[in-house]
Structure 1
Amino acid sequence: MQPSTGANTITFSASPTQFYTWHNYRCAYEIYQPANFTPEGIPLLLIHPIGVGLSRQFWRRFCSQWYNTGHRNRIYNPDLLGCGESDMPHVAYSPKDWAKQLHYFLQKVVQKPVIIVVQGALLPVAIELVKQDANLIAGLILAGPPAWAVITKKSPEWQQKVIWNLLDSPFGNAFYHYARTPKFLQSFSTRQLFASEDTVDAEWLNTLVKGAENIANRYAVFSFLAGFWRQDYGSDIASIKQPTLVVVGQTASSISEEGKKETPDERLADYLAYLPQGRGIKLLGRNVLPYESTAEFVAAIAPFIESNGKLHPLMGGEG
């Protein structure tokens, strides 16, 4: 993939899909880096959201904009197990499972500290990753994190299991077949994800439809819908010592009842009240800022990445 070149444009390359083996599962990833410059600065690790047809492809627009605006960081963009080109075993996934997968990826593939950029309700995966090996995490960027009332409320285990068993059935199979239709995907995206119906474009819908062709993707989606990620992470967030940037949409919303009364300003204030090294910013957009407001998102996070990449004691620059 090559962007058009211009005065401030860096030509970039995306590696062919690469694979590593974790717990006998084949896990996919790709690496983005400048094609006409040596990579510079701290690498980025992207954590994509979970949903019908979602995978690492969520970040492609972001990666293109990152290099088009002159940045040279190497970007690691993995598919979580159950998504994209990674294996899709019939299991119930938890944030700890995905964090263990990414920890192995950091140890064996990346082999140096990164700044995590995590989308939405996959924040618990980033939290668990920090808990597993804080030395490999130089900073975090939370793009559209969940409402505070959601991220600090544990759902009962019996409830999680009931929902999982309901979805992991012929009923759930039928639901997933319907949920991967363009009509449903467009309706859901308009109602829950994007600030403007106009930004729910063909690129977005085609990517989701293609990503949902393998129906085994439903197990990751069902795990998310069952709420295995719904724990009280308040104390864990307060324990994050790394610099953390919270990026919230000006029209951010919540699907869960607990978060529907919360304003974007309140969401930002709650996170910043707990994060020891937190800072925050609001951007035009709703819940999928790296895709919906790509240029604004890149401009907002670039200074944070540049300053915190230089400060990390284990970073000596990219080579």
Structure 2
Amino acid sequence: MQASPPTQFYSWQNYQCAYTLHQPDNYQAEGTPLLLIHPIGVGLSGKFWQRFINESFNQGYSNIIYNPDLLGCGGGDKPHVAYTPKDWAEQLQYFLQNIIQKPVIVIVQGALLAVALELVQLESNLIAGLIFTSPPTWTVITNQYSAWRQKFFWNLFDSPLGNAFYRYARTPKFLQSFSTRRLFAVADTVDGEWLNTLTADAANMATRCAVFSFLAGFWKQDYSSLIAAIQKPTLVVLGESASSMSQEGKGETPDITLANYLACLQQGTGVKIPGRNVLPYESTTEFVRAIAPFIGVPVRM
């Protein structure tokens, strides 16, 4: 296992933002860097990717990996604001322009696909390709929430009632139950490492704003036109047991979801692997092998 590198910081819009930089022993400067976009949820941050990073280097990846914490999560500042996908995309645009300064392959988990799509619009010249990991069902990613509905739910969450809910949601009992019911295909893979990491990061109540912004649905828009406009190679990776996190996508199978994404993407390819909705964590070895050809790494058997 690679030792965790020290957290580094940069300033964006007067906020302190955090990231870690991971360089393998066989690092090759000509390789395309990877930029990871972590999911949003109770206790989630860039630490979500640690298993993936370790396994990538075990399997011979030579790509340098940039793993930022989105504002409101992890080691950076956590202002009390409602975050939109464009806010986080602008943070990553600055990160690309001023820290990385060369084209990357973006790997994005889950519904934070909305952030990656906004980022492509802002800074396509610094994106060489994209990997959508466990993206939302097509029904969900093309469903437009009204602004009043988003504002209503934000105001509901950003209240004493919402604060009380967050205190309960960050308990190990709730996190284990939710992870088993909604995220993992195999209950036994909801392990101590997963739960301990979530509870530790969620101990800071300031992390609730990012979570509540996500739950309020600020990311729920019709993104079909942005997906169709992508002119970069794109890989879609779905779990064989993938399920919708939203009611509107409950009837959509992984095969249907994958077919819809590939029909819309200009340069899309897709693959299914064992697992459900958090593939880089639950099915790490399979995920690393599945994306290796796309990244340009020989597959190790």
Asked if TM exceeds 0.5, the reply is yes
Q: Distance in 1 between matches of 2:29 and 2:45?
A: 25
What does residue range 181-192 of structure 1 map to in structure 2 within 5 Å?
181-192=171-182
Unaligned runs of at least 5 residues, structure 2: none
> Following TM superposition, by how much is the alpha carbon of 1:71 offset from its aligned partner in structure 2, in angstroms?
1.1
Rounded Cα–Cα distance in structure 2 between residues aligned with 1:39 and 1:179: 43
1:316 aligns with none
Residue 244 (structure 2) aligns with: 254
Structure 1 letter corresponding to 2:133: A
Question: Residue 128 of structure 1 corresponds to which residue in structure 2?
Answer: 118
- Choose the corresponding residue for 2:66, options 57, 76, 79: 76
Whether the 8 Å contact between 1:14 and 1:31 is mirrored in structure 2 is: no
Task: Report what 2:135 is aligned to.
Answer: 145
2:5 is the counterpart of 1:19: no
Show the counterpart of 2:22: 32
Runs (5+) with no aligned partner, structure 1: 4-11, 308-319
* 1:177 corresponding residue in structure 2: 167
**Counterpart residue type for residue 65 of structure 2:** I
The runs of 4+ residues in structure 1 deviating greater than 2 Å are: 12-15, 35-40
1:15 Cα deviation from its structure 2 partner: 2.8
Return the alpha-carbon distance in structure 1 between the equivalents of residues 198 and 272 of structure 2.
Answer: 27
User: What TM-score does the superposition give when structure 1 sets the normalisation length?
Assistant: 0.92
Task: Compute the TM-score of the two structures, normalised by the length of structure 2.
Answer: 0.97
The CA distance in 2 between the partners of 1:87 and 1:238, in whole Å, is 34
1:193 equivalenced with 2:183 (yes/no): yes
Q: Distance in 2 between matches of 1:128 and 1:14?
A: 30
What is the alpha-carbon distance in structure 1 between the residues aligned to residue 28 and residue 247 of structure 2? 48
Following TM superposition, by how much is the alpha carbon of 1:96 offset from its aligned partner in structure 2, in angstroms? 0.1
Distance 1:123 1:270 in 2: 15
Listed one character per residue, the Cα deviations across residues 264-295 of structure 1 (whole Å, up to 9, x for unaligned) are 00000000000000000000000000000000
CA distance in 2, matches of 1:77, 1:255: 25
- Supply the RMSD in Å over aligned alpha carbons: 1.0
Of 82, 86, 106, the match for 1:92: 82
Specify whether residues 39 and 294 from structure 1 end up closer, same or farther in structure 2 by C-alpha distance, changes over 3 A only.
farther
Which residue is equivalent to 2:157?
167
Aligned counterpart, 1:220: 210
Say whether residues 1:105 and 2:75 are aligned partners: no
Return the alpha-carbon distance in structure 2 between the equivalents of residues 15 and 25 of structure 1: 22
Count of residue correspondences: 297
User: 2:280 is aligned with what amino acid?
Assistant: P
% same residue: 67
SS at match of 1:210: helix
1-structure distance, mates of 2:277, 2:24: 29
Q: Per the alignment, do residues 42 and 102 of structure 1 end up closer, same or farther by CA in structure 2, a change over 3 Å counting? A: same
* Other structure's SS at 1:297 match: helix
Matched, 1:294 2:284: yes
Task: Give the CA deviation at 1:26.
Answer: 0.2
Which residue is equivalent to 2:254? Answer: 264
Match of 1:53 among 43, 46, 51: 43
Query: Which letter does structure 2 place at the counterpart of 1:200?
Result: V
- 3-state DSSP class of the match of 2:296? helix
